[in-house]
Amino acid sequence: MTDIVEYRKLFIGGEWTEPAGDDIIEVVSPHSEQVVGRVPHATPEDADRAVAAAREAFDKGPWPRMPIAGRIEVVTRIKDALAARHQELAELVTLQNGSPILFSVRGQALSAVGVFATALAAAAQFKEEDERQGTGGPVLVRREPVGVVAAITPWNVPQLTIAGKLAPALLAGCTVILKPSPETPLDANWLAELCADAGLPAGVLSVLPAGRETGAHLVAHPGIDKVAFTGSVGAGKAIMAAAAQNLTRVSLELGGKSAAILLDDADLSVAVPAIVGGTCAANSGQACVALTRVLVPASRYDEVAAVLTGAFAGLEVGDPSDPASVVGPMVTKDQQQRNLDYIRIGQEEGAKVLTGGGIPEGRTTGWYVEPTLFGDVTNDMRIAREEIFGPVVCLIRYETQDEAVALANDSEFGLSGAVFGADAERATEVARQVRTGTITVNGFRLDLAAPFGGYKNSGIGREFGPEGLAAYFEYKTVNLPAPAKA
């Protein structure tokens, strides 16, 4: 894709309509630093129109009242269209946010297809209501859609995070207002076209590319029944505070500072590729689940440091449209500077740069940061405690297994993690002790059929699989008449 991708209207209530304001969002390629797209910037007034359309469609329209088999049919068409056009979607994501193309295919486009598929599988097993025996007689327990959903998604994996909200919300019978990040609005508008072609009824979906002001207006709107958000801890806390004014339901998937524990018998031929795949190769480190703290037995520290240093130093950094590139640019210049600032802070704190530590040599265009591995890190350093969101990883020594677990848990976050060891049962037992939402034994995986979310400041609620679908229902108890006594 070389031409500028341009939208001049907003997708509100299922139709492309004129925006209320004149502001434009220009999408800039993180690789070329050239404008590659333009979309209207949605205003609070546009948000009001979207809420009104969604409210009308939910309160009076056919979508929530349709048998779930009918919704499954429409959502299946969306999933199938995503699958058929996944390469086109991957190229669009790479264009706007700089994800290396192989990651965009697998981690952006095909992962979205996978989320739709697992949500559909969960919906196929769904029961709208069931009867059970209560303490005073029979009761009917109904599952009804939560209502109008505001889905607010980030720039790093836009289609994966959209799918995690849109697929279950639609299948539950909700109507959705999607507010994508202003850095990555192109794929959201592209998806709106696809959903319209799939036959979503009027009002069921709106897309509002916008910044914080419109997002804040949407979250605080009394017409919203649930906010589903993926993003930073700070933004999540602000959303929760605003939603509390209307007692709006919230689900929040926030940041991470995940630990990879290498036990003393860990096989480095297994651990190192997984750590590379879960850090620098995961969207150039711009992933909330990244394994950014690597906990290493002191007895094997030098060995692990040498092997990981070589692995990081050998990663191909470059044009994200080139299939050979493993690490691409940061999404914005500010994000590049954030990473460089943390690299400086780490050195000032006494950590040692084992490889990387700056902008790749000869790279004068694009917002690139070298894959950077820090050694001699202690868990109280800022680089070990704060989410950097880039290809920057910390090596931390430990003496005992209990200390490793304590270090892993000594974090305000609890989103992901990994444990590596030759004895799988022992490694699994260690995994059970880490307070985190997802953890992998001898690998790095985000399973789209299993619940995903965080402990502590990593969020509230779960996405994906049956648990992700359940998050979009309210439960109603209908007390039935007791049977007449004989």
Residues marked as catalytic = 253, 288
Q: Which residue has the tokens 């651990």?
A: 271
Nearest to 68 by CA among 145, 154, 163: 145
Answer whether 36's CB lies under 8 Å from 95's CB.
yes
Q: Which residue has the tokens 């460089």?
A: 340
Is 436 strand, coil or helix?
coil
Q: From CA 45, how far away is CA 235, in angstroms rounded?
A: 22
Answer whether 163's CB lies under 8 Å from 188's CB.
no
Answer whether 392's CB lies under 8 Å from 347's CB.
no
Q: From CA 390, how far away is CA 374, in angstroms rounded?
A: 13
| Distance between start and end Cα atoms, the chain | 76
- Residue 111: phi and psi, rounded to 5, are -65, -35
Buried b (16+ CB within 10 A) or exposed e, 276-294: bbbbbbbbbbbbbbbbbbb
Answer whether 342's CB lies under 8 Å from 392's CB.
yes
Q: From CA 69, how far away is CA 188, in angstroms rounded?
A: 26
CA atoms within 13 A on the CB side of 161: 28
